[in-house]
Amino acid sequence: MSLDKIEQKIIQGERINNEEALMLYQQSDLLQIGNLANRLRLQKHPGNHVSYVVFRNINYTNICVSMCAFCAFSRKSDDTDAYVLSLDEICRKIKEAEKIGADAILLQGGMHPEFKIDFYIHMIRAIRQNFHHLHIHAFSPPEIVHISKLSAMTIDEVIKALSDAGLNSIPGGGAEILCDDVRVKLSPQKCTSADWLTVMETAHHRGLKTTATMMFGSIESMENRIAHLSSIRQLQDKTHGFTAFIPWPFQPDVKSKEGRTSYSHLDAQETSAVDYLKMLALSRIYLDNFPHIEASLVTQGTKLAQIALSFGADDIGSLMIEENVVSAAGSSHLTTETEIIRIIQDAGFIPLRRTVLYEQRTG
């Protein structure tokens, strides 16, 4: 099929397949694919609004057995800077976030070698008891799979227990690239692609909404990226449980404040702005059953995030009061709510504050 026919297919609202997606990415120029994505974005979200959310990212521990090839945040149990936050520390962070208007938290940590399900249930219940109306968005699929193995429980049993304790939704972290030949090199101790998808499908069946992510630009091929998109599109067809897709690029050879970097050995070049924007646009076109595509302000910074709003993204992500994992690699861009509103307005859009579940926030 020619590029012109693929473009007509997209304009007519027809779904493109993997071969067509690859051709579109490889043969279209930046503005061509960007215009197509923006057209679809406006069809899904008429008007000129761009949404954002306010929450605090609390990393309850940096102790992790995964030791991913790209991570500058994780530590071993005997490292001098390893930590586990106490419940008092977690509650203090939540109180600080509430003072500036946050009504949700993103709770993620390392895959701790000793913590079983009781630890997580106790933490969620304590938070819920102290903060009745707080939205708890927590525990990515690799964490849940890890908990299930340590606790000798099924994934469904773990998700049910966490949900019963007060968990509201699950973030899409730990996806990287959902192709196991890539994952075994990037994250050999993390869950498989099938496990990641099983966690999400199970959560959806339990009534928990989730996001989906992709970290691209490391060692994967373009075919791997499209296979990743295909996997989550197929699952969304079955469950309709994903609220949004958030792609962000791998950033090689970026050192942390401590000078640590564990991923300089990976044969990867820094992802260009053009590659990021084309990948974002392709995501909007290919993921026709996803309500929202999010630009990553935290990883990409103000200017590129603003441009992304005309390349298919309808959301600029979170004003993150605290962020540790990305910033450990030296590439985090944090901001205030006033600033995020200005960023959206300066890009020519109307800011709309939302909830974690992408509903318009009232009050």
pLDDT value, residue 62: 82
User: Which domains are assigned to the chain?
Assistant: 3-353 (3.20.20.70)
Helix (H), strand (E) at residue 238? helix 222-239
DSSP per residue over 292-336, as a string? Answer: EEB--HHHH-HHHHHHHTTTT--EEEEEES---HHHHTT------
Indicate the SS3 state at residue 213.
strand
Task: Give the count of alpha carbons within 13 A of 355, CB side only.
Answer: 16
- Closest by CA position to 10, among listed 22, 237, 20, 18: 20
Residue 108's identity, in one-letter code, is: Q
pLDDT value, residue 69: 59
Which ranges of the chain have pLDDT less than 70?
A: 66-74, 77, 252-269, 320-335, 363
pLDDT tens digits for range 189-215: 889 999 999 999 999 999 999 999 999
pLDDT value, residue 268: 59
Quick check: 239 and 205 in contact, CB under 8 A?
Answer: yes
Whole-model pTM over 0.85: yes
Q: How many other C-beta atoms can be found within 10 angstroms of the C-beta atom of residue 338?
A: 9
Average pLDDT, the chain: 88
pLDDT tens digits for range 312-324: 999 998 876 654 4
Q: What is the DSSP letter of 107?
A: E
b (16+ CB within 10 A) / e for 214-249: bbbbbbbeeebbbbbbbbbbebbeeeebbbbbbbbb
Exposure of 12 by Cβ count < 10 A (0-12 exposed, 13-18 middle, 19+ buried)? exposed
pLDDT value, residue 168: 98
70's tokens? 């790209």
Q: What is the DSSP letter of 242?
A: E
